[in-house]
Amino acid sequence: MRFIQGEVLENRPLSRDFFLLKVGGKFPEAVPGQFAMLFPSPSLEPFLGRPFGIAMQEEDSLLFLIKVVGRGTFLLSRKKEGESLAVIAPLGKGFSYHMGRTLLVGGGSGVAPLIFLASRLSGYTLLYGARTKEEVFLEAFPHLKGRAEEVVVVTEDGSAGRRGLLTQHIPAGDFSMAYVSGPWAMMREFSRLYKGEAQFSLETRMACGFGVCYGCAVRIKRGGEEKMVRACVEGPVFKGEEIIWIQG
């Protein structure tokens, strides 16, 4: 991991709420599932960085698929080409690869780390959930479909693919591993319905992103006991059987 003053190489809107941000810098090699902290402002406001799963790594750049959900992501959406942008990357523990037929499950902006993962796998089944067809980005990332054996698109309004929630359309099949990334509620429901082995990329509120503040800790089961671990260091990817879905 490295703290870098990067440079915005590209900022392209993909839909009303989503945009693609490409940031240049000498980043160490990342593993799919790892994330970066992006700092929306060089001033003190907003104060903290924002964590985003790495959507692709190219030579000397990282790609992010970001949804505008608040002030920080709004400011990032306004970054111009050539502007400098502070980044800490790569962070956390990514997915571990499995041989055989795999299932990639991504909902909303959670699909980002799976885009990166898909570039390292092939013959997978992709289950892609979004609100509406404008938020299905198969064309922006042609390899998603190109390397897949099957793609199942689910939109809440039925404007593309099947209608409903992603978790209502889990493909049957003998998968050696499911890689899941999306909103907490979606992943929790998926884990309830899906009985095979799975890895989940957890979305938690974070402050530092690199392990010093313990703000992102989640309760997990490991080695027969419950413990609090930092999603930013020990995660964000966890094995399905480790995750305690109701944290409170």
Partner 1 sequence: MDTRVKVGGLELKNPVILASGTAGYGVELSPFLDLSRVGGLVVKGLYPYERMGNPPPRVWETPCGLLNTIGLQGVGMKRFAQEYLPRLESYDTSIIVNACGEEDEEYLQVVDYLQEFDRVDAFELNLSCPNVREGGRCPAMWPDWSYRIVRGARSITKKPIWAKLTPNTSALVEVASACKEAGADAVSLVNTYLAMAVDFRTRKSRLSTLFAGLSGPAIKPLALRAVYTVASSVDVDVVGIGGITTGEDLLEFMLVGAKAVQIGSATLREPTAALRILEEAVSLLRQEGYNNFSEIIGRFEGV
Q: Which residues bind partner 1 (CB under 8 A)?
A: 1-3, 39, 44-49, 86, 88, 204-208, 210-219, 226-228, 233, 247-248
Q: Quote the CA–CA distance of 198 and 97 in Å, as a whole number.
A: 11
Output the smallest distance, CB 108 to partner 1, in A.
20
- Quick one: tokens of 197? 């082995």
CB of 48 to partner 1, least distance (A): 5
Residue with Cβ nearer partner 1 (28 or 123): 28
Q: Which is nearer to partner 1, 1 or 160 (CB)?
A: 1
Helix (H) or strand (E) holding 153: strand 148-155
| Least Å from the CB of residue 239 to partner 1 | 19
- Residue 66 identity (one-letter amino acid): I
Alpha-carbon separation of residue 171 from 3, 83, 158, 167, 185 (angstroms): 41, 43, 17, 9, 19
Among residues 190 and 210, whose Cβ is nearest to partner 1?
A: 210
CB of 59 to partner 1, least distance (A): 22
Quote the least distance from Cβ 196 to partner 1, whole Å: 27
Q: Which is nearer to partner 1, 221 or 227 (CB)?
A: 227
Cβ proximity of 57 and 38 under 8 Å: no
Nearer to partner 1, 139 or 225 (CB): 225
Here the tokens at position 244 are 């305690």
Closest CA to 243 of 204, 190, 188, 196: 188
Contact 159, 153 (CB under 8 A): no
